[in-house]
Structure 1
Amino acid sequence: MSDAPSVSVIVPLHNGAGFIVETISCVLGQTHPDIEVLIVDDGSTDDGLDRVRPLRRDPRVSVAAKRWSGIADTRNAGLSLVDAASSYVLFLDQDDIIAPDLIETLFVLLSTHPEAVAAYAIADFIDADGRPLHPGAFAGGMRTRRTAVEGALRAIAPDSPATFCELFVSNPIYPPSGILIRKAALLEIGGFDPSYRVADDWDALVRLARLGPLIPLDEIKVGYRRHGANASGNTPLNVRETRAVWANTYYDPMNSREQRGALRDAWRALQRDKAMTKSEAAKASLRSGAPGRAMSQAVDALAHRVLFAPLRAWRTRNGSSMSLVVRAPAVTLPD
């Protein structure tokens, strides 16, 4: 290992005592030698902070703590603490695990794609005990990608670079645990937007993709742990924040003229696709003898056809990447 890290792994910790030691262990076992691990506790009320303190015996590990302020602020806090020599960052969720060669493989991939802002690997579900859960299901979803082409959403190959308009339509790159990002690009977009509770990573990826593509590694390298406490299971919150990403991106003054046109085309393709899906569902409901549900689905389909742009009311309070900077909350280094 050299004196200075080339990759900083940032691990936000909030009431994750049950998994955090296993998660950190998989980072310390990486084949890429030049890493630092920054664990940032976000006001936990369990004993997770006590469990990670002994890990500082490894000189690559640092632990910081702050008052609770949410996942985006915690990621920004970690970003503010990275070694100046580090060129890449990876944000590892407290309950996920990664293959021993994940960082090395993505590091090499990015070195051969200087135009790219990030590289990412495929994830698949594991359960609370780390065993495979519905093998291939989540990975298949990550590999099923679409983007707007000639007014319609078309499938694209899993090994195609992820681009701005594709990520605007939807986010196939999740969880963040498998994404290696150029630090300079992340600082250029201002880090993570704290007005999001669960979609801050998607929003950041869209803004990153404005600067360049994200290169996929079509191999499963991440164990995406599912258990009862997953924040991503909050459906109403996910709907609100999905709409916020759409509106914030669509109306962002950072968009070039070409990007504004591409976003208009992508939005209309997405709405046509949704309208078609709802129309087919309405026909199926009518055939099954559910006219009330069919009527509701038909009205929903019509709404998609006339929604020519995201509603401005969907935007979050920040609403523009121009206003974002890495404003990390105060942190302390625990004894």
Structure 2
Amino acid sequence: MTAGRAGEATIGIIIPLYNGARHITETLRSVLAQTYSALQVIVLDDGSSDGGAEIVRTAFEDPRLTLVQKRNEGIARTRNAGLALLGADVEYVVFMDHDDLVAPELYERLLRVLAARADAVGAYAVADWIDAGSAPLGDGEFARFMRARQAVRGGRVVPLAPEEDATLPELFLANHLYPPSGIVLRRHEIDAIGGFDPSYRVADDWDALVRLSRRGPIVPLDEILVGYRRHGANASGNTVLNVRESRAVWARTYFSADNSTADRQALRAAWRGMQRHKFRVKSAAARRELRARRVLFALRCQLDALAHLALVRPLRRWGR
């Protein structure tokens, strides 16, 4: 059920909840306090064991909010389950993390961006870290990361201006557009790509953005309007898993049958430009190590540099 001013398009807010009892109340308050009021908020409890679902059930009496309890299936399947439950009137969707916070004007501001860009599949705002107690964390470090986007142009890696769209070649190389809590997507576009790939454990949102970007750009709003919770339970802190799934995104994107001829050319140029860039950076590091007479470190750096130069495309086996 939604409630808003006449004529407002409805935004569906899908919130997977897994052992998030500590933060779910604050997260929901930030969502339900949005200046844009036409919302359908679905919290999907993914087999939690900490009582978070009961908090949602008893602490909120808002007709826009629905709680669904289900067995544990992981975040991608849970997001897809929420997508399937959205009403027919929902035109936009946000996949909110259960511990993030959003500024009251976030949805209204992003919808204005999308209203001016019919070609865009979505729009996003900048996030910055908050700690377990919701205090700012990292002196703006994560916001700087989000703004430090790069692209390959003319065979060289160049910085992107904050107002430049996020497009397929950029998103293929690296994802600076997270958490998903700060991204509003057109519902028909996420439906068109079939939602999230459940074979991923942490990169399902990145993979979805890459697939969406074949259909159109994602437009930035260069303002910090999202609090991205950082704590020991963050899945993004698993380095081995992140490396494995990053490689899977690269390989599956590069070799996808969904790529047009233009997509294939753009992806090839982006990949080769980035590998040459890494070769130059690591070769320079090797020279510095050699000047410091750290010969073993210099050798390792140079071998790593040569590996990048030799990697003219992602390995197909990464995508398996």
The correspondence for 1:11, drawn from 15, 19, 26, is 15
The answer on 1:129 being equivalent to 2:133 is yes
TM-score, normalised by the number of residues in structure 1: 0.92
Letter of the 1:141 counterpart: F
Question: Which of 96, 103, 123 lines up with 1:119 in the alignment?
Answer: 123
| 2:314 is the counterpart of 1:310 | yes
2:283 aligned with 1:279: yes
Alignment of 1:7-156 (within 5 A): 7-156=11-160
**Hey, what's the Cα distance between the residues in 1 that align with 2:282 and 2:305?**
5
Q: In the alignment, is the contact (CA less than 8 A) between 1:5 and 1:36 conserved in 2?
A: no
Residue in 2 that maps onto 1:332:
none
Counterparts of 1:65 and 1:281, CA distance in 2: 52
Partner Cα distance (2:199, 2:166) in 1: 25
Once structures 1 and 2 are overlaid, which stretch shifts more, 168-177 or 55-64? Answer: 55-64
Q: Please report how far the alpha carbon of residue 282 of structure 1 lies from its aligned counterpart in structure 2 after TM superposition.
A: 1.7
User: Residue 55 of structure 1 contacts residue 61 of structure 1 at CA under 8 Å; is this kept in 2?
Assistant: no
Give the secondary-structure state (helix, strand or coil) at the position aligned to 1:57: coil
Relative contact order, higher structure (CA 8 A, sep 6+):
1
- Does 2:250 match 1:249? no
Q: Secondary structure at the match of 2:108?
A: helix
Counterpart in the other structure of 2:241: 237
Number of matched pairs:
316
**CA apart distance, 1:17:** 0.7
Which of residues 188, 193, 202 is equivalent to 1:189?
Answer: 193
Deviation at 1:289, TM superposition (A): 3.4
Cα offsets for 1:213-268 (capped at 9, x unmatched): 11100000000111111110001111111111100100000000111011110000
Letter aligned with residue 215 of structure 1 = V
AA aligned to 2:156 is A
Stretches of structure 2 lacking an aligned partner (at least 5 in a row):
none
Secondary structure of 1:40's match?
A: strand
Single out whichever of 52-61 and 184-193 deviates more from structure 2: 52-61
The whole-number CA distance in structure 2 between the counterparts of 1:44 and 1:300 is 43
Q: CA deviation at 1:290?
A: 2.5
Deviates more, 1:272-281 or 1:174-183: 272-281
**Alignment correspondent of 2:162:** 158
CA contact (8 A) 1:5 1:83 kept: no
1:211 aligned to 2:215? Answer: yes
Give 5+ residue unaligned stretches, structure 1.
317-335
Q: Hey, what does 1:175 align to over in structure 2?
A: 179
Is residue 8–residue 82 contact of structure 1 (8 Å, CA) maintained in 2? yes
Q: Is the 8 A contact 1:121 1:217 kept in 2?
A: yes
Distance (Å, rounded) in 1 between the aligned partners of 2:131 and 2:148: 22
Deviations 1:115-141 (A, max 9, x none): 100000000111110001112211111
Shift of 1:286: 2.4
* Aligned equivalents of 2:83, 2:301: Cα separation in 1: 44
* 1:290 paired residue among 265, 269, 294: 294
Q: Using the TM superposition, name which of 285-294 and 156-165 deviates more.
A: 285-294
Q: Give 1:55 deviation, angstroms.
A: 4.3
Q: For 1:276 and 1:196, how far apart are their aligned partners in 2?
A: 32
Q: Which runs of 4+ in 1 moved over 6 A?
A: none
Give the Cα–Cα distance (whole angstroms) in 2 for the partners of residues 307 and 204 of structure 1: 25
Matches of 2:205 and 2:133, distance apart in 1: 26
Query: For 2:245 and 2:284, how far apart are their aligned partners in 1?
Result: 26
Write the deviation string for residues 305-330 of structure 1: whole angstroms up to 9, x where unpaired. Answer: 011110000004xxxxxxxxxxxxxx
Counterpart Cα distance in 2 of 1:286 and 1:234: 32
What amino acid is the match of 1:285? E
TM-superposed CA distance for 1:74, in Å, is: 0.8
Contact 1:175 1:224 in 2 (8 A): yes
Identity score, percent: 53
Please say if residues 168 and 206 of structure 1, whose CA atoms lie closer than 8 Å, have aligned partners that are also in contact.
yes
Pick one of 253, 258, 263 that aligns with 2:262.
258
- How far the C-alpha of 1:2 sits from its partner, in A, is 4.9
> Counterpart of 1:173 in 2: which secondary structure?
coil
Q: RMSD of the TM alignment (CA)?
A: 1.3
Aligned residue number for residue 322 of structure 1: none
Give the Cα–Cα distance (whole angstroms) in 1 for the partners of residues 317 and 261 of structure 2: 23
Distance across 2 between alignment mates of 1:55 and 1:80: 25
